[in-house]
Amino acid sequence: MALTPARTMPGVLELLPLDQIAFQRMLDVIRRNYERFGFLAVETPVIEYADVLLTKTGGETERQVYFVQSTGALEQGEKPDLALRFDLTVPLARYVAEHERDLNFPFRRYQMQKVYRGERAQRGRFREFYQCDIDVIGKDALSVRYDAEIPAVIYSVFRELDIGPFTIQLNNRKLMRGYFESLGVVDGEQQMLVLREVDKLDKRGADYVRDTLTGDAFGLSAEVAAKILAFVQVRSTSLQDALDKLDALGPGPEALEQGRTELKEVLGLIHAFGVPDTHYALNLSIARGLDYYTGTVYETTLNDHPQIGSICSGGRYENLAGQYTKSHLPGVGISIGLTRLYWQLRDAGLIDTAKSTVDVLVTQMNEAQLPAYLALAGELRGAGIATEVVLEGGKLGKQFKYADRAGIRFVVVLGEDEIARGVVTVKDLRREDQFEVARSELVKTLRVELEQAAAMG
């Protein structure tokens, strides 16, 4: 029989076990922090009805959808009515609309699952990737105070992920809209087009952007273009500086005043939530592409790795599920695209292959003593120590080599001599150290060692 080449499609990140462990630890940290802030777990099916998924979106997103058909439907030549979710926001909207009567509002949910996009195969573009989302959904109304809680969660997550200093950057779409209005750029779509140009500031430089804005396509005056460029370059260096810079914008239309009031309240409350001033800042260039953000918007960047871009983004939206329900459901949320983030961090050398989740390998010196090895392993497992026993046998050197390659730290040796003397020999492969311990003390000793290692990270 001819062999089928074992391979996966481009755009998926499949990991070797020790990398998978590193990835899993990141997932665990995020989940733990989400739960600590009172968010509740939700999972939704990967496959949704196509008409449910595609009510709102169109254009680019729609072209990237993966459609699904069972063998039967395919044979009958039917048009596919199922598709894979491309984000977690549309499924959240469907979930809240469907289960509205059974949920408690404000509804705080987290969801950490994979989403699918039929992207062109390209380095760093993923067709399957994890999103780790939180959202707070209000019924009819949701206080702007929740907008201040989100950065507290972001801070808590990224502090524990320990991937270097980061800054949570904030803006407010109302403020932005109001400021543009005050300059005579009133149309929403026109504002978005201007913002898209302004987004090129870093790559193309100020001259290019100014020329475009004052050129035929936009026809803005030099003065207006200059004001826009000055506006989007506003960054704060402290909480007080942020408040001052907001005041310095001067009076403006209602939207601007609303946005300013919201931003000031949010900035102040973030402080009350215990986020250090060093970790959040005003950044008036942040718009977020999605049309549905209406107030606060967030991006988070690693201070030492700006090229990675935003590692966690989101914002406030006016109405989550207008396509499914007449209920008015305002919300605020963020998303961490963990697959891409992990890939970028690994690429930048910021995360390493993990140690094994296996703590101890019990070697097999003597086949006849297998019951003794199994009993020992049982005790270790009973104490919560992940333990593997060599069942196959073979040379001791080979068993050590296996432990070393597999990243297992402790190797336990229990030969005739040890058994006679009531002791166990432990080899610590990380410290390249070896010690003997009374058989009855083994569990306690290893627990202490492992707890110390865990505490030191």
User: Which segments are annotated as binding site for L-histidine?
Assistant: 87-89, 117, 131, 135, 288, 292-293
Nearer to a copy of itself, 87 or 181 (CB): 87
Candidate segments 101-109, 181-189, 195-203, 311-319, binder of a copy of itself by CB under 8 A: 101-109
Cα 87 from Cα 77, distance rounded (Å) = 28
d(CA 63, CA 434): 60
**10 lines the binding site for a copy of itself (CB under 8 A):** no
Report whether 381 contacts 360 (CB < 8 A).
no
Q: Does 267 bind a copy of itself (CB under 8 A)?
A: no
Tokens of 214: 């004052």
Q: Binding to a copy of itself by residue 410, rule CB under 8 A?
A: no
* Sequence-separated (6 or more) residues with CB below 8 Å from residue 80: 50, 67, 68, 69, 73
Residue 450 within binding range of a copy of itself, rule CB under 8 A:
no
**Least Cβ distance, residue 145 to a copy of itself (angstroms):** 4
By CB under 8 A, what part of segment 278-337 binds a copy of itself? 321-326
Of 272 and 438, nearer to a copy of itself (C-beta) is 272
- Count of residues of this chain found to bind a copy of itself when the rule CB under 8 A is applied: 107
Q: Which stretch binds a copy of itself (CB under 8 A): 142-150, 241-249, 296-304, 344-352?
A: 142-150
> CB 243 → a copy of itself: shortest distance, Å?
17
12 forms part of the interface with a copy of itself (CB under 8 A): yes
Edge-to-edge strand ranges of the sheet holding 166-172: 40-41, 107-116, 128-137, 331-337, 312-317, 293-302, 166-172, 280-282
Decide if residue 1 touches a copy of itself (CB under 8 A): yes
Closer CB to a copy of itself, 74 or 448, in the complex = 74
How far apart, in whole angstroms, are the C-alpha atoms of residue 41 and residue 328? Answer: 23
Of 103, 112, 87, 168, the residue nearest 137 (C-alpha): 103
Distances (CA, A) of 95 to 44, 49, 90, 137: 8, 13, 9, 12
Binding-site residue set: 87-89, 117, 131, 135, 288, 292-293
Half-sphere exposure of residue 418: CA atoms within 13 angstroms, side-chain side = 22
Of 37, 218, 231, 400, which one interacts with a copy of itself (CB under 8 A)?
37
Q: Which is nearer to a copy of itself, 128 or 181 (CB)?
A: 128
H helices present in 308-412, as ranges: 338-347, 370-382, 396-406
- Shortest Cβ distance from residue 252 to a copy of itself (Å)? 28
Tell me phi and psi for residue 132, to 5 degrees.
Answer: -120, 100
Under the criterion CB under 8 A, does residue 103 sit at the interface with a copy of itself? yes
Residues 335-394 that bind a copy of itself (CB under 8 A): 356-358, 361, 370-371, 374-375, 378, 381, 384-389, 391-393
Q: Which of residues 44-83 bind a copy of itself (CB under 8 A)?
A: 44-49, 51-52, 55, 62-74, 80, 82
Q: Which is nearer to a copy of itself, 14 or 432 (CB)?
A: 14
Q: How far, in Å, are 32, 71, 115, 456 from residue 129 at the CA level?
A: 20, 26, 6, 31
Confirm or reject binding of residue 121 to a copy of itself (CB under 8 A). Answer: no
Q: Which is nearer to a copy of itself, 114 or 245 (CB)?
A: 114
Point out which span in 136-144, 222-230, 240-248, 251-259 binds a copy of itself (CB under 8 A): 136-144
Is 95 a binder of a copy of itself (CB under 8 A)?
A: yes
Of these, 87, 128, 135, 449, which contacts a copy of itself (CB under 8 A)?
Answer: 128
Q: How far is the CB of 311 from a copy of itself (least distance, A)?
A: 21
- Angle of helix 442-455 versus helix 370-382 axis, rounded to 10: 50
**Does residue 14 belong to the site contacting a copy of itself (CB under 8 A)?**
yes
Q: How many residues does the chain have?
A: 457
Q: Which is nearer to a copy of itself, 10 or 205 (CB)?
A: 10
**Which residues pair with residue 137 across a beta bridge?**
107, 331
Q: Computed from CA positions of residues 356, 358, 359, 364, in that sequence, does the dihedral angle turn out positive or negative?
A: negative
Amino acid identity of residue 89, one-letter, is T
Question: Residue from 405, 433, 452, 455 that binds a copy of itself (CB under 8 A)?
Answer: 405
Tell whether residue 94 is a contact of a copy of itself (CB under 8 A): yes
Binding to a copy of itself by residue 435, rule CB under 8 A? no
Report, in Å, the least distance between residue 370 CB and a copy of itself. 7
Answer yes or no whether residue 143 interacts with a copy of itself by CB under 8 A: yes
Taking the C-alpha atoms of residue 50 and residue 32, their distance in angstroms, rounded to an integer, is 33
Cα 301 off chain centre by: 12
What radius of gyration, in Å, describes the C-alpha atoms of the chain? 28
Q: Is 193 in the site for a copy of itself (CB under 8 A)?
A: no
Smallest CA-to-CA distance from 130 within 116, 151, 150 is with 116
